[in-house]
């Protein structure tokens, strides 16, 4: 352990100043091969640290988790290998059998300084070494900070912002059959997708919606959502604004008097949304209401989108509007 600590001090500080006293350790020739191997391992560690950041950024990579683990593990292994080589091959050492010196001996500190200075004599490319240590430490530090990006997307925000809903697009069920307004009954809820979507594109955050029908007298949509309902039918993004689970429960019919109104519920952490009030949050950890899709009924009775959502779909992150309770 002492050797590795000495090696680290030598790499970071170098010799510092000229020797003033006679040598303590025997001289040893430089070992260019070991030196080159240690520097190469340090730069390999830096490269793997950069690799970790790149793999983290490109979330479309297959087996991303395994690649992240491999990059970080190999980077640490490379640093360990470099330190072993420095300790075994580059630090000048000498084994002495002698009684332990008394504490606080006035010459002891001077001796330690000499040891540090002479131990690093075999390292001839100090600047390169320092660069390697700095690169490896710096990139590993950055790699350790990279997971903070998970607080929200940084590189691929398009996936979070785009939706396939456009004006005039019909609503279809899981079998691609277009919904008629008459299909939607009270006390039940329905999942819908944009007409023309494929099985794969239905996995996109902006594709699935939930549909419910409420008595028109119960609708209390805020002014900015006026005209979003069609004959009492309302449509919201099916993706919970908390952490992105699917809204898959509908609290209807009710068990009076405990539950005052129908509600859409996310089973992950029980965020509860009010479909009559523009998808506002009634309960749970969701930070903002559900984005709403404006609906229309065409001449043949089919449900169509009148446009896209009024707000960004998906879980809430630093790029979305944060819902605040009204005082």
Q: Which residues bind ligand FES (CB under 6 A)?
A: 240, 242-245, 266, 268-269, 271, 284-286
Distance CA 236, CA 241 (A): 11
Residue 119 or residue 271: which is nearer to ligand FES going by CB?
Answer: 271
Least separation in angstroms between CB 234 and ligand FES: 19
Least separation in angstroms between CB 305 and ligand FES: 24
**What does each C-alpha distance from 185 to 181, 213, 231, 253, 288 come to in angstroms?**
9, 6, 11, 12, 27
**Within 10 A of 123 (CB to CB), how many other CB atoms are there?**
24
Residue 142 or residue 268: which is nearer to ligand FES going by CB?
Answer: 268
Distance CA 137, CA 182 (A): 65
3-state DSSP helix/strand/coil percent for the chain, to nearest 5? 35, 15, 50
Least separation in angstroms between CB 158 and ligand FES: 22
Q: Which two tokens stand for residue 268?
A: 């992950």
Residue 139 or residue 271: which is nearer to ligand FES going by CB?
Answer: 271
Name the residue among 323, 319, 327 with its Cα closest to residue 155: 319
Q: Which two tokens stand for residue 175?
A: 């079998």
Least separation in angstroms between CB 321 and ligand FES: 18
Residue 146 or residue 241: which is nearer to ligand FES going by CB?
Answer: 241
Residue 100 or residue 318: which is nearer to ligand FES going by CB?
Answer: 318
Least separation in angstroms between CB 210 and ligand FES: 13
């Amino acid at each position: 352990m002492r050797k590795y600590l000495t090696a680290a001090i030598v790499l970071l500080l170098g010799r510092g100043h000229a020797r003033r006293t006679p040598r303590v350790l025997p001289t040893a020739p430089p070992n260019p091969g070991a030196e080159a191997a240690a520097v190469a391992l340090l730069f390999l560690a830096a490269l793997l640290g950069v690799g970790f950041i790149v793999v983290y950024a490109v979330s479309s990579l297959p087996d991303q988790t395994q690649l992240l683990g491999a990059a970080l593990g190999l980077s640490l292994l490379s640093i360990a290998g470099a330190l072993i080589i420095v300790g075994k091959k580059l630090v000048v050492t000498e084994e002495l059998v002698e009684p332990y010196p008394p504490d606080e001996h006035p010459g002891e500190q001077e001796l330690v300084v000499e040891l540090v200075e002479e131990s690093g004599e075999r390292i001839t490319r100090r600047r390169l070494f320092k660069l390697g240590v700095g690169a490896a430490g710096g990139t590993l530090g950055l790699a350790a900070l990279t997971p903070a990006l998970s607080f929200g997307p940084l590189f691929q925000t398009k996936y979070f912002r785009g939706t396939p809903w456009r004006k005039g697009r019909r609503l279809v069920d899981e079998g691609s059959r277009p919904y008629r307004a008459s299909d939607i009954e009270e006390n039940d809820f329905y999942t819908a997708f944009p007409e023309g979507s494929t099985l794969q594109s239905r996995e996109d955050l902006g594709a699935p919606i939930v549909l419910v029908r409420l008595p028109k007298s119960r609708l209390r949509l805020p002014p900015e959502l006026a005209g979003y309902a069609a004959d009492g039918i309302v449509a919201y993004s099916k993706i919970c604004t908390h952490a992105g689970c699917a809204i898959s429960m509908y609290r209807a019919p009710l068990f009076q008097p405990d539950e005052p109104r129908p509600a859409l519920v996310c089973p992950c952490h029980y965020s509860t949304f009010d479909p009559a009030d523009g998808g506002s949050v009634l309960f749970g950890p969701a930070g903002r209401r559900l984005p709403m899709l404006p609906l229309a009924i065409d001449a043949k009775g089919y449900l169509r989108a009148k446009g896209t959502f009024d707000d960004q779909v998906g879980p809430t992150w630093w790029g979305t509007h944060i819902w605040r309770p009204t005082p």
